Structure 1
């Protein structure tokens, strides 16, 4: 029975710690994320959200502990990269390419040809809102919001089992925010993709995620199943801090 529960975990964190200059920025003794869960990660600046993301993606190494993906340590194997996609910031992009060139490059890494990628990009027509494709611009010349659109779409065309997005709503307009929320909810509902979304926007994250993790000073101090009272509970918490 215990083994069955473990197998249901897509991601497991054990005794994870990271510090800089003597200050602990992440300290998570235990965290389990099940397959198909939609997780919202919230907290003020400096709470440790991005550092946690970067350790989960093996971009930085923890001082102690481990991140397991399908029961394997991400620091010790490469298998998780085949089913994990992410967009944290514009540093993930190749900015001297056009969006089309970048999409085809990412697709090629996942054994998809140009025609397949072009076909998959059709689903993002509304999300792109006529601002991404066939504009003759390099990614570096796009606005922050449009760079985010490119990064999110590039993650999705990989057809991942795990999707991680850091502040995806921050620089995009309200119409695109709504479209992105619908995309994330559909992924969780129809494809059982495990999604982890960090956001300062409490409205968005409580709307699209069925579980909220609240971080403060590197620790997860609340782990809440989203319900009709969750937004109010989070707003009350942050209003006390302000």
Structure 2
């Protein structure tokens, strides 16, 4: 279980995240939504100890993330291309991550083969360095690398971005498969409400660093989210200009 308590992050006097309490049970698939600047990536960065909180803490399986590295063996993530090593080929990168997670070459080769549909003849087997791949193919590699070693917690930040429609469909199938595992907790952020509501079992909406909605997904969740963001959009719409005659 992941437990967040009085968590905040302040940059130059500006609060970008302020979550009083948030609990994520083991085995849940969480969809994180929000506009740009809502705090999604900041929250993921705190979950991965990439940045330090201003106040509060995160417990992952009762381990305080900011004070111990014991959460790392069961946690994996792909946030962006900075997680990759550009001068390696995809296969070399997979083998490298596999070594860190106690997997041998045969294990990794089997993993790559099992996701052949997802790669769709791209990224792997091309003898290209990661830095020379398209953004979409880099993302494919990063996502699959995050699954090496069957981690208990998987964090994916905007995994659908830069992927073509066919690959997005395949990725949804992968995430749904992870979500069906009671031992795997999945956290996925996306600007696309449809993607989130398709793969998540629970949706958390962030706005200006605060939790504005936290609920189990139902058939009406997409419409509810759409209505929320439509309301925000309309509230910022410019007022009609007043004519000179008035």
TM over 0.5: yes
Q: For residues 217 and 11 of structure 1, what CA distance do their matches in structure 2 show? A: 22
CA deviation vs aligned residue, 1:94-126 (integer Å, no higher than 9, x gap): 011000000000001111111111011111100
Which of 215, 218, 240 in structure 2 is aligned with 1:224? Answer: 215
5+ residue gaps, structure 1: 1-9
CA deviation vs aligned residue, 1:47-73 (integer Å, no higher than 9, x gap): 010001000100000010001001110
Question: Superposition RMSD on alpha carbons, in Å?
Answer: 0.8
How do residues 85-234 of structure 1 correspond to structure 2 at under 5 angstroms?
85-190=76-181, 192-234=183-225
CA deviation vs aligned residue, 1:26-57 (integer Å, no higher than 9, x gap): 00010000000000000000001000100010
Higher helix residue share: 1
Corresponding pairs, count: 233
CA contact (8 A) 1:85 1:158 kept: no
CA deviation vs aligned residue, 1:166-221 (integer Å, no higher than 9, x gap): 00001101111011111111111135310000000100100100100000000011
Runs of 4+ displaced beyond 6 Å:
none
Aligned partner of residue 212 in structure 1, secondary structure: strand
Aligned partner of residue 75 in structure 1, secondary structure: coil
Q: For residues 14 and 151 of structure 2, what CA distance do their matches in structure 1 show? A: 34
- Larger of the two Rg values belongs to structure: 2
5+ residue gaps, structure 2: 234-246
